[in-house]
Amino acid sequence: MTEATIVKQQVLEKQKVIDEIKTKLHSASAFYVTRYDGIDVEKISHLRKELRATKAEMKVFKNTMVNKALEGTKFSDELSKILKGPNAVTFAYEDPSAPAKILFDFAKKNEKLVIKGCLFENEFYPAAKMAVIKDLPSKNTLLSMIASVLNEPMAKLARTLDALKTAKEKM
């Protein structure tokens, strides 16, 4: 294998990783950046398992690859500032706030996990402003709240009609 072939193969492999990151970014509703160095494999594996249960995925990519994938996006500057050192990125594919709760709970027990920032519903949040996200109700809770608000007028109408029917029958 010639040196040119090896270089070409390396470029293709790097582009494949960049494309993978871009695909994950486009399909994710949230993207969290955390510093994880110093945490043992068992704890990280447990964290990844908890994240998978919420349809989220934690991966480790080279910062240069993530920065390349982010090029041309409106958040590339902010994210490139926090992509220093050993980082893991977490992609939330369904409920965007569920991974935040898991990451913050894990960080309370393991101070070596540092939550550096995130893209949440197409907005950048630095670490200082992320507490808002972890305190959001889950998507299912919000949907339940909306359903109950929408259901109440119908239930009230049904009770009123039933009361009218009962009153009419007594006459």
Q: Indicate the average pLDDT of the chain.
A: 85
For residue range 107-119, list pLDDT tens digits in order. 999 989 999 999 8
Residue 1's identity, in one-letter code, is: M
Determine the Cα–Cα distance for residues 164 and 161; give it in Å rounded to an integer.
5
pTM, to two decimals: 0.74
Taking alpha carbons only, the member of 128, 18, 127 closest to residue 73 is 18
CB 139 within 8 A of CB 94: yes
Domain 3-136 CATH class label: alpha beta
User: Using an 8 Å Cβ cutoff, are 34 and 115 in contact?
Assistant: yes
Q: Is 163 helix (H, G, I), strand (E, B) or coil?
A: helix
Spatial distance between the Cα atoms of 33 and 91, rounded to a whole number of angstroms? 9
Who has greater pLDDT, 170 or 119?
A: 119
Residue 139 confidence (pLDDT)? 59
Length of the chain: 171
Amino acid at site 81 = K
* pLDDT, average across residues 116-135: 78
Sheet holding 30-35, edge to edge: 56-59, 87-92, 30-35, 114-120, 123-126
